[in-house]
Amino acid sequence: QKEVEQNSGPLSVPEGAIASLNCTYSDRGSQSFFWYRQYSGKSPELIMFIYSNGDKEDGRFTAQLNKASQYVSLLIRDSQPSDSATYLCAVNRLGSNDYKLSFGAGTTVTVRA
């Protein structure tokens, strides 16, 4: 079982719609959760992080965390063509020596005009 799993996509949504991305993780001891966006040929850039159960909103982005279900999601409201990218879920946990950040393989999102 992979530590962090995401649907690879591609997820195609019309402009203006809501894109919903899901991520599950295997380690119940995971403590912090991150969403990165990566445009083709570019480096990952942080969208947002979440530590506590519930929702966290930042502009058009909402992260949702449910630790009991080991599930974190990202909603993109009013999707724009500029949101077309691969979205990486990352989960931080304290390992034997230090914190370890594990990444999912990413979900590719295409916003069609």
Partner 1 sequence: DAGITQSPRHKVTETGTPVTLRCHQTENHRYMYWYRQDPGHGLRLIHYSYGVKDTDKGEVSDGYSVSRSKTEDFLLTLESATSSQTSVYFCAISLDRGETQYFGPGTRLLVL
* Residues at the contact surface with partner 1, assessed by CB under 8 A: 4, 31-32, 34, 36, 42-46, 49, 88, 90, 92, 94, 97-101, 103-106
Q: Which is nearer to partner 1, 12 or 31 (CB)?
A: 31
* Strand 32-38 to 45-50 pairing: antiparallel
DSSP 70: T
Contact partners, residue 46, CB within 8 Å, separation at least 6? 34, 35, 36
Q: Which is nearer to partner 1, 75 or 105 (CB)?
A: 105
Q: Which is nearer to partner 1, 40 or 82 (CB)?
A: 40
**Least CB distance to partner 1 at residue 68 (A):** 22
**Least CB distance to partner 1 at residue 42 (A):** 8
Q: How far is CA 49 from CA 10, 61, 70, 113, in A?
A: 23, 11, 15, 28
